[in-house]
């Protein structure tokens, strides 16, 4: 029988919701997570896979890092490829030894779900008709249906961790939130392939035909992307056509792209979006429900984790001392860093993609930018420190 009361009611069992729930558990704070999809669906959804050092450290501190440490691939750089040549950006050297870890979001979610279940966490999947109420009072409520029955969960606070299309953000009265948005005139066609990655490092490639990215999940499974139209019809892309286009864009002298069976493919649109503030009364938005970044730079999951780290500390302080100043500053603390990450994701996207209305001037400028980033230590350091993850500034 689901709880009728909890301290923090969490909507959504993605990275934001599950990390928050476990962080709260570790601080002795009770939470209930309500997710409208099945556990299997959430754990099998193919999403990002690059973890900043700060994300890795947090997951390890939370006791959910064992498999990540064993199976994750630690990378100390990326390659930028343009005009048929690759140029390494060496994070280790540029940032004093820091790197990133490749470990799929789906695996992070499996580890978090296992940890939540092992510690008696209340995570309810396949709940329906979730709606949030009274969050402008001290007794917010979440109503939902499960197995045909209607329930109401009374909470002290609600965390809206329900992604970009969730119900929490639209429940905030009109006029409270300012939205900032940029929609890009292209998307990414992504594949998961049974093909060992052809490069040790991730390759971000600028090409006349458009951007391409070589990434990976494991030493046996590659993850590759092609810039495409935002509304590209995946049915028009046979596996052969995808591999051919990847070969053309990623071509580099003395280098060969290994092919293999395509396990999954899909198209995603690209946007930059955020709301300010990320809070209204006792409803706090975290992760994709508050902001979206284009995937160039792989920041989405890391931003979600950073938000809930701030939120968990705020709740901790409130429950220990009654002091809500950290909770009151939640938006301000998060948004300062989020804007910088938005800037970085926009910058990587703008540098590496072909814009449909791009002029020859724009294209030469992009090449000059890539040339600069790969030849100036100052510029390369800027890319590296953003890629491995900026610190949170608490003041």
Kindly state the smallest distance separating residue 188's Cβ from ligand PHB, in Å.
8
The one catalytic residue in 75, 207, 291, 353 is 75
Catalytic (active site) residue 295: yes
Closest to ligand APR by CB, 158 vs 380, is 158
- Mapped onto helix, strand or coil, the DSSP state of residue 77 is strand
User: Looking at 225, 299, 330, 353, which residue is catalytic?
Assistant: 299
Taking the least distance from each CB to ligand PHB, the nearer of 279 and 302 is 302
Give the CB-side neighbour count of residue 63, counting CA atoms within 13 A.
10
Catalytic residue selected from 144, 184, 295, 330 = 295
Task: Give SS3 for 335.
Answer: helix
CA distances from 136 to 154, 156, 158, 169 (A): 13, 11, 11, 14
Distance CA 310, CA 337 (A): 11
Instruction: State how far Cα 245 lies from the chain centre.
Output: 26
The footprint of ligand APR (CB under 6 A) covers 11-17, 34-37, 42, 47-48, 105, 130, 161-163, 166-167, 287-288, 300-301, 304
Task: Clarify whether 170 is annotated catalytic.
Answer: no
CA distance 389 to 12: 25
Closest CA to 274 of 254, 299, 255, 253: 299
- Sign of the CA dihedral running 25, 62, 295, 341: positive
Query: What, of ligand APR, ligand PHB, none, does residue 202 touch, CB below 5 to 8 Å by kind?
Result: ligand PHB
Q: Which residue is nearest to ligand PHB (CB)?
A: 215
The CA distances from residue 309 to 5, 266, 287, 371, in Å, are 23, 31, 11, 37
State which residue, 86 or 314, has the beta carbon closest to ligand APR.
Answer: 314
CB–CB of 273/342 below 8 Å? no
Q: Which residues bind ligand PHB (CB under 6 A)?
A: 48-50, 202, 215, 223, 295-298
CB of 58 to ligand PHB, least distance (A): 19
Least distance to ligand APR from the beta carbon of 44, Å?
12
Known catalytic residue at 165: no
> In the complex, what is the shortest distance from the CB of residue 376 to ligand APR, in angstroms, rounded to a whole number?
30
The catalytic residue among 204, 225, 280, 330 is 204
Known active-site residue 387 = yes
The conformation of residue 278, written as its DSSP 8-state character, comes to S
Give the length of the chain. 395
Q: Which is nearer to ligand PHB, 140 or 187 (CB)?
A: 187
Q: Hunting for tokens 């691939």 — which residue is that? A: 73
Closest distance to ligand APR from the beta carbon of 166 (Å): 4
- Rounded CA-CA distance 280/91 in Å is 39
Query: Would you say 11 or 333 has its CB closer to ligand APR?
Result: 11
Residue 296 Cβ, how far from ligand PHB at the closest point, in Å? Answer: 5
By beta-carbon proximity to ligand PHB, the closer residue of 273 and 319 is: 273
Is residue 225 annotated as part of the catalytic site, yes or no?
Answer: no
Catalytic residues: 75, 204, 295, 299, 387
């Amino acid at each position: 029988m689901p709880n009728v009361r909890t301290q923090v009611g969490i909507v959504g069992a993605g990275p934001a919701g599950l990390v928050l729930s476990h962080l709260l558990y570790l601080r002795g704070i009770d939470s209930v997570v309500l997710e409208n999809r099945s556990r299997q669906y959430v754990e099998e959804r193919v999403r990002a896979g690059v973890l900043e050092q700060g994300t890795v450290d947090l997951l390890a501190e939370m006791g959910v890092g064992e498999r990540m440490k064993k199976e994750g691939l630690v990378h100390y750089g990326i390659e930028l490829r343009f005009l048929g040549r690759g140029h390494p950006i060496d994070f280790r050297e540029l940032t004093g030894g820091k790197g990133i870890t490749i470990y799929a979001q789906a695996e992070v979610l499996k580890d978090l779900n296992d940890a939540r279940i092992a510690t008696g966490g209340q995570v309810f999947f396949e709940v329906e008709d979730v709606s949030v109420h009274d969050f402008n009072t001290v007794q917010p409520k979440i109503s939902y249906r499960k197995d045909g029955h209607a329930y109401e969960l009374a909470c002290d606070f609600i965390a809206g961790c329900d992604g970009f299309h969730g119900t929490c953000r639209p429940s905030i009265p009109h006029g409270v939130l300012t939205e900032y948005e940029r929609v890009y005139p292209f998307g990414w066609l992504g594949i998961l392939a049974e093909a060992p990655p052809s490069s040790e490092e991730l390759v971000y490639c600028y090409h006349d035909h458009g951007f391409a990215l070589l990434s990976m999940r494991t030493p046996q499974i590659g993850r590759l992307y092609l810039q495409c139209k935002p509304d590209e019809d995946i049915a028009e892309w046979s596996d052969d056509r995808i591999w051919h286009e990847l070969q053309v864009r990623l071509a580099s002298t003395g280098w060969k792209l290994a092919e293999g069976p395509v396990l999954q493919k899909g198209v995603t649109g690209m946007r930059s979006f955020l709301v300010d503030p990320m809070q209204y009364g006792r409803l706090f938005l975290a992760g994709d429900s508050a902001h979206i970044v284009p995937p160039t730079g792989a920041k989405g999951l890391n931003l979600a984790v950073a938000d809930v780290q701030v939120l968990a500390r705020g709740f901790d302080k409130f429950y220990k001392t009654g002091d809500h100043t950290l909770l009151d500053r939640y938006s301000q603390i998060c948004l300062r860093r989020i804007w910088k990450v938005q800037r970085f994701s926009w910058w990587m996207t703008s540098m590496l993609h072909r814009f449909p209305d791009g002029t020859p001037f724009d294209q030469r400028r992009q090449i000059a930018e890539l040339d600069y980033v790969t030849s100036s230590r100052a510029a390369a350091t800027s890319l590296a420190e953003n890629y491995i993850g900026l610190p949170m500034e608490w003041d």
